[in-house]
């Protein structure tokens, strides 16, 4: 195992509890696949995932990015200094907050299977936790190409096939 997962589905008590969320094992499989493509496995990594509703996503997006809307996935690096990480048995990469409502809506709007879009959001967030970004065109092309390769190994079609770039 190259990854461990701290998983929390915060939707159980919310109004959007009816949204189908993949199994915890699926999230772990998607993380491990992404990690195999980006990191030499010197130590296992740990990622936290919290499944949230649109209200919580909008609040986090506002507080941390200054954006006033719910978004599909937010990535939060652990920020633990390298000297401390070197002493740990596993590397705490950080946390992902994934908005079930946005992911479900986007899958429908984009004509994608829900599970494929969930996988894409987990891979995308995991790449952010590994230092990838898409702030400019060069970074975006590199990150999207890597996402395509990772998702292809999972049997998932190109998630950008309908995007205009």
On the question of pLDDT at 23 being above 90, the answer is yes
Does residue 162 belong to any structural domain of this protein?
no
The CA distance from 122 to 28, in Å, is 9
By DSSP bridging, strand 3-9 and strand 73-77 are unpaired
Q: Please tell me the predicted confidence (pLDDT) of residue 34.
A: 95
Where do runs of H (alpha helix) occur along the chain?
24-38, 54-65, 82-85, 100-109, 114-129, 137-153
Rg (the chain; Cα; Å): 15
pTM of the entire predicted model: 0.92
The CATH number for 43's domain is 3.40.390.30
Sheet with 45-52: list strands edge to edge: 3-9, 45-52, 91-99, 73-77
- What is the mean predicted confidence (pLDDT) over 38-43? 75
Is pLDDT above 80 for 163? no
Count of the separate structural domains present in the chain: 1
Instruction: Quick: pLDDT tens for 77-114.
Output: 999 998 998 899 999 999 999 999 999 999 999 999 99
The answer to whether position 135 is within a domain reads: yes
Summarised one tens digit per residue, pLDDT across range 56-84 is: 999 999 999 999 999 999 999 999 998 99
Alpha carbon distance 49, 34 (integer Å): 15
Report the 10 Å Cβ neighbour count for 134: 16
Looking at residue 130, its pLDDT comes to 93
Structural domain range at position 28:
3-153
Residue 51 lies in a domain: yes
Query: And the tokens for 95?
Result: 């946390």
Contact present, 75 and 35 (Cβ < 8 Å): no
Contacts of residues 148-155 at CB distance under 8 Å and 24 or more positions apart, as own/partner, are: 149/37, 150/33, 150/34, 150/37, 150/123, 151/116, 151/119, 151/120, 151/123, 153/33, 153/37, 154/29, 154/30, 154/33, 154/119
pLDDT of residue 6: 94
Tell whether 94 is covered by a domain.
yes
Q: Quick check: is 136 in a domain?
A: yes
Q: Which two tokens stand for residue 61?
A: 């997006």
Looking at the domain assignment, is residue 100 inside a domain? yes
pLDDT number for residue 165: 41
Yes or no: say if 15 and 101 are a contact pair by the CB < 8 Å rule: no
CB 155 within 8 A of CB 116: no
């Amino acid at each position: 195992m190259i990854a461990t997962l701290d998983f929390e589905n915060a939707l159980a008590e919310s109004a959007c509890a009816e949204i189908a969320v993949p199994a915890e094992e699926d999230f772990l499989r998607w993380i491990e696949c992404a990690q195999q493509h980006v990191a030499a496995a010197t130590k296992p990594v740990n990622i936290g995932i919290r499944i949230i509703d649109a209200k919580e996503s909008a609040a986090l997006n506002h507080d941390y990015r200054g954006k006033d809307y719910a978004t599909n996935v937010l990535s939060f690096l652990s920020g633990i200094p390298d000297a401390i990480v070197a002493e740990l048995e596993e590397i705490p990469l950080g946390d992902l907050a994934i908005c079930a409502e946005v992911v479900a809506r986007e899958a429908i709007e984009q004509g994608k299977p829900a599970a494929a879009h969930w996988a894409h959001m987990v891979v995308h967030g995991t790449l952010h936790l590994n230092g990838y970004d898409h702030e400019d065109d060069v970074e975006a092309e590199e990150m999207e190409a890597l996402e395509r390769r990772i998702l292809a190994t999972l049997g998932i079609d190109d998630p950008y096939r309908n995007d205009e770039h």
